[in-house]
Amino acid sequence: MKRIAFVLTVMIFASWLAPSGRAAGKPKVQESLIVSTEWLAAHLKDESLVLLQVGDKDEYLAGHIPGAQFVTLADISTPRGSGLTLELPSVGQLETLFEKLGVSDNSRIVVYFGKDWGVAYDARVFYA
């Protein structure tokens, strides 16, 4: 864990439901999609946690949060010549990618970017 001090833009997918606090049979949905570095440190060993780092491959290789998987913009875009620039791939291709990264129906997914990447790329992974 070389450095968690860089700003984490962290998003947890809405499939994340809290088991307690249910009223009238409705599940309580997490109120915020942002988690703190303290929360992340406390949950790094959770089996359902999937960490996805967006950014530069060299930066990822130099040091990343333990257990994080690397995602590129190309991973979540249609291959060149197969559609519009930056078009999202088919649902089947996205399912294959995210399953390969360890995402399942029970996953808590945290997406964060490296030091020189912006929120737009995180948001694209979240959207995909």
Q: What is the pLDDT of residue 84?
A: 76
Whether the per-residue pLDDT at 100 is higher than 80: the answer is yes
25 confidence band (pLDDT: 50, 70, 90): low
Q: Is residue 37 part of a domain?
A: yes
Any domain includes 115? yes
- Report how far apart, in Å, the C-alpha atoms of 96 and of each of 76, 90, 128 are: 11, 10, 12
Q: Kindly state whether residue 98 falls inside one of the protein's structural domains.
A: no
Q: Under a CB-based contact definition with an 8 Å cutoff, are residues 110 and 51 in contact?
A: yes
In degrees and rounded to multiples of 5, residue 121 shows phi and psi of -70, -40
CATH of the domain at 56: 3.40.250.10
The boundaries of the domain holding residue 119 are: 27-71+103-127
56 occurs within a structural domain: yes
Phi, psi of 95 (to 5 degrees): -60, -45
pTM given for the model: 0.69
CA–CA separation, 70 vs 27, rounded Å?
32
The percentage of residues in the chain with a pLDDT greater than 70, rounded to a whole number, is 70
Tokens of 29: 């949905």
pLDDT digits (tens, 9 = 90+) for 51-96: 999 888 898 999 999 999 999 888 888 877 677 777 888 899 899 9
- Number of structural domains (the chain) is 1
